[in-house]
Structure 1
Amino acid sequence: MINLILLCISGFIAAFVDSIAGGGGLISLPAYMLFGLPPHIALGTNKFSSTTAALTSSIRFIKEGKADLSLLKFIVPFTFIGSVLGVKSVLIINQSFLTPLVMILVLVVGVYSLFSKNLGLESHYKGKTRKLIIIGTFFGFSLGFYDGFFGPGTGSFLIFGFIKIFKLDFVEANANCKILNFTSNIAALITFAIEGKINYFYGVLVALFMVLGALIGSKIALKKGAKLIKPVFVTMSLAVSIKMLLSL
């Protein structure tokens, strides 16, 4: 019973952190594995519960008007397609060679954000253009594929990409990121469900706590703004790099 309580608390913290700046999987996935679930079941169950949290955060950000749905309607389909192809590809391609590369990229993103004092603190978004839509759809497809194929650091790449491409602040970038993250998660979740790799008892239980964590986290992110999100984002980006380094 104590282990189950700790698992639920871990889910709450993971969703809370993830709704602010991404990286919640660093907390929730190891928690499932420490609880004793086999790796493939832990992956599927974590995807189930984290998808519900991503949906909760997405709805909250949409209600507050922080997500640009007129832009996302072009990007979301490509993100979903990319994720489906990524999931299918991971079944036939060895992904181990990606770990060192991704670790370096996430580290660069974190360090660059740390030393760029004004990065993402103010929004300079001037609306969508044909060029931005084309770049955005390619970006969404690529990150969707990556999330389905490998995953670590997806949140960091999405937030950083929205800031650099669309000149959004951290709050707006995080809002749009959550919707794309939810989209790519759905594709992977469907695959895990078809393969029977989800423990729904634990998944539903933890999902309830993750929904609560996502609600509180997104509320704080909206209230505190970019000045809160940026340091958490940098911290989680560096944490992803360290976690991947230790797994080499």
Structure 2
Amino acid sequence: MEDINLYTLLFLVIAGFIAAFIDSVVGGGGLISIPALLFTGISPSAALATNKFSSSMGSLTSTISFIRAGKVNFKFVIKFLPLTVVGSILGAYVVHFVSPDILKPLILVILVVVAIYTIVKKDWGKETLYKGLTRNKLILMLLLIFAIGFYDGFLGPGTGSFLLFAFLIIGFDFVQAAGNAKILNFGSNIAALVVFLSMGTVNFAYGIPMGIAMVAGALVGTNFAIKKGSSYVRVLFIAITVLLIGKNILNYFHVI
């Protein structure tokens, strides 16, 4: 039994590192970490809660790295933090009463639009063009940030990608958009985690070692993105968005 536990923890550590490496930059790490946790045999609710615990550790690490590198417009982002926190808490509660399946067709359509738009606009996000928010863009951002926060608590996978896309829309480059997104993603992670902790669904035996691995993965991933720049983040963003589309299609048709 000890050998099995050791191999299971090793598996989760490796999966956690890879998931955080990706998630630290463009989100989508749940594509790897949630299936890895489900593979251990714990319940879906425990897997979601444990992943939120571990990913919060990685998210904090990448957030600090982006701030230290000067890739976060902190004064701007902090104004939207309450929206994503409230949205996430609401989503985490609602998921206990409403099946997440109702959102999946809509999420699939949004992901396809995001992927096509990013691929077609090749120069998009290469440099920061943000000059401030017009009234219409402010209203759009308020709605988007709240909706994405709700989605993070309600379903989760791809939240970082959606947040990054929101900041690209208003003129940030890919690296700064990723840094700004991390602040809000961390806020929504913590908000949902508080709800999960209150319900006692976090598996700490798996969550702590996986979380430590996610700290390491987030450090490596964030530093790699900052050094490589926007072109690297753009390619990774498109790749993860396409993978999310594939996963949602397979889920929709009950293939996985």
Give the match for residue 101 of structure 1. 106
Name structure 2 gaps, 5 residues minimum. Answer: 1-5
Give the partner amino acid of 1:58.
Answer: T
Give the match for residue 83 of structure 1. 88
Q: Does the CA contact (< 8 Å) of 1:74 and 1:137 recur in 2? A: no
Matched, 1:150 2:152: no
Q: Which residue, out of 227, 233, 248, partners 1:229?
A: 233
Q: Assess, with a 3 A threshold, how the Cα gap between structure 1 residues 105 and 153 changes in structure 2: closer, same or farther.
A: same
Give the match for residue 166 of structure 2. 161
Q: Does the CA contact (< 8 Å) of 1:28 and 1:46 recur in 2? A: yes
Give the CA RMSD over aligned residues. Answer: 1.5
1 CA distance for matches of 2:22 and 2:99?
30
Greater mean deviation of Cα atoms: 41-50 or 144-153? 144-153
Give the match for residue 125 of structure 1. 130
Q: Does the CA contact (< 8 Å) of 1:124 and 1:167 recur in 2? A: yes
How much has 1:156 moved relative to structure 2?
1.7
1 CA distance for matches of 2:24 and 2:113?
22
How much has 1:108 moved relative to structure 2?
1.8
Q: Which runs of 4+ in 1 moved over 6 A?
A: none
Give the partner amino acid of 1:51.
Answer: S
How much has 1:22 moved relative to structure 2?
1.2
Deviations 1:94-146 (Å, cap 9, x if unpaired)?
33121111112112211221221111111111245666544433322121112
Q: Does the CA contact (< 8 Å) of 1:79 and 1:137 recur in 2? A: no
Q: Which residue, out of 40, 48, 53, partners 1:48?
A: 53
Deviations 1:154-213 (Å, cap 9, x if unpaired)?
22211111101x200000000011111111111110111111101112111111110000
Q: Which residue, out of 147, 172, 178, partners 2:176?
A: 172
Secondary structure at the residue paired with 1:36?
A: coil
Give the partner amino acid of 2:96.
Answer: L
1 CA distance for matches of 2:83 and 2:34?
26
1 CA distance for matches of 2:135 and 2:117?
28
Q: Which residue, out of 26, 49, 53, partners 2:31?
A: 26
Give the match for residue 112 of structure 1. 117
Give the match for residue 247 of structure 1. 251
2 CA distance for matches of 1:203 and 1:152?
18
1 CA distance for matches of 2:147 and 2:251?
24
Number of residue equivalences: 247
1 CA distance for matches of 2:191 and 2:96?
14
Give the partner amino acid of 1:227.
Answer: S
Give the match for residue 195 of structure 2. 191
2 CA distance for matches of 1:38 and 1:94?
16
1 CA distance for matches of 2:108 and 2:136?
30
Q: Does the CA contact (< 8 Å) of 1:54 and 1:178 recur in 2? A: yes
How much has 1:61 moved relative to structure 2?
0.6
Q: Does the CA contact (< 8 Å) of 2:9 and 2:209 recur in 1? A: no
2 CA distance for matches of 1:127 and 1:143?
21
How much has 1:2 moved relative to structure 2?
2.4
Matched, 1:141 2:146: yes
Give the match for residue 3 of structure 2. none
2 CA distance for matches of 1:95 and 1:40?
12
Identity %: 45
2 CA distance for matches of 1:99 and 1:129?
31
